[in-house]
Structure 1
Amino acid sequence: MARVVVSLKIFPADIDVNLDTLKEKIKASLPSYAAIYSFEEEPIAFGLTVLIAHIILPEDRAGGLDEIERSILSVGDVSDIQTIMVRRA
């Protein structure tokens, strides 16, 4: 089964959000078929740092990306998500 890597830019709700805690909440919120490959932190402006999450999921999972975005947005400390890239692993 082929897999894809999805890179998402995840914006915290506030500059005071603990990013390590947010990473753990995001990991816990993902569906069972998805897994975190890695996280990166990217400073934006005025003290705001966004997370870049690289997530692996099966290529044949219809609607998988939408479900992942909904599950991450359900985490209380996330204000927005942008899909940066989707490619085969």
Structure 2
Amino acid sequence: MLVIDIHLVPGGFDPMKRTIGTLRIGNISDLSDISDYRIVGMEAANPFRNTPPRIVECVLVGHDRRQSVWKLLKAAADRIEEADWVPL
């Protein structure tokens, strides 16, 4: 499983760091060359957009796992953007 935590570090000042998003990507097809992945994304409340914290769960189907991890991350990010997020 890949776990990606996204931190906001205002002005590069580490004591002000806070997590604004998390992405979990897990292979659900026994590590086949062409794999399916379960994706869970979470996002903190965004006061600039006036949105509550939210969560999404979806599946990425048919990804060629021989590609770089960045291709998988992009495909997962594209997939969650299309999915239906649920407020927490």
TM-score over 0.5 for the pair: no
Q: Which has the larger radius of gyration?
A: 2
| Alignment TM-score, normalising by the size of structure 2 | 0.31
| Alignment TM-score, normalising by the size of structure 1 | 0.30
Greater RCO (Cα-Cα under 8 Å, separation 6 or more): 1
